[in-house]
Every structure is written in C-alpha cells, then in structure tokens.
Amino acid sequence: MAFKSDIQATRVAGTASGTAVIAPPVRLRGIIVASSGAGAGLINLNTVASSGGTNLLTVDVPSGDVINFSLPEDGILFPQGVYLSTATNITAVTLLTDKFSGPNLTTTNK
C-alpha cells in the first residue's frame, strides 16, 4: 500500500475558536475532535481568518466523546488556510493535513 504524502498533525485547544489554525493553503486529510463533556460539541472550519469565510467542515461530537475520522480521497482543500470559526464544548481539535511550513509547527515537524 502506497502513501500519498507526508502528514502533519496540528493541535489546537477548543478555547481557540475565532482564530486561524493554519495560515498557508493546506489540504485537510483527517480530524480528531474531543468534546469537553459539558454538552454536545460542535466545530466549524472556515476558509479564511474571519467569521465571514466559507464553512467547509462542520463536526458534531457527542458529549464527553472523541471522534477520529479520515476524509476520503484527497480530503478538503482549504485554499487560504484553516480558520476555526466555532468551537463549542470542545477540549481540543487535531487537524491531520498535508505537510506544510507555517505557524504552530514544532521544531521536529518542519
């Protein structure tokens, strides 16, 4: 089985709604979302660093649960980066993307 490309994992706290998670253009391959347990969780991922961007992904998470899924084929292209516009009752979100160079990388993930 062949791999299509390297994968980058970028984690952001659920309290970071209203922020750009990844600034450069990137393709989302998978996502892991953990609900805080304070009620059902919800996230919205938009295309630009403002609430006016196009919503490309909405994820609902049952209260106190963790979901993990891979997106089929080539995933979702975020042509202007990934913006976390909504994070309700979420502990953390991990985005699995194509490898990129940009903010939120650790020194070992360049």
User: Where do the structural domains in the chain lie, given as residue ranges?
Assistant: 7-98
Residues 6+ positions from 35 with CB-CB distance below 8 Å: 41, 61, 62, 63, 64, 65, 66, 89, 90, 91
- Which pLDDT band, with edges at 50, 70 and 90, does 8 fall under? confident
Q: Greater confidence, 108 or 13?
A: 13
pLDDT for 49 equals 65
Q: Greater confidence, 99 or 51?
A: 99
Spatial contact of 90 and 30, defined as CB atoms under 8 Å apart: no
pLDDT for 58 equals 95
pLDDT for 32 equals 96
- pTM given for the model: 0.82
Q: Is the domain 7-98 a CATH 2.60.120 member?
A: yes
86: its two tokens: 């909504």
Q: Give the whole-angstrom CA distance, residue 44 versus residue 56.
A: 8
- Which pLDDT band, with edges at 50, 70 and 90, does 104 fall under? low
pLDDT for 19 equals 85
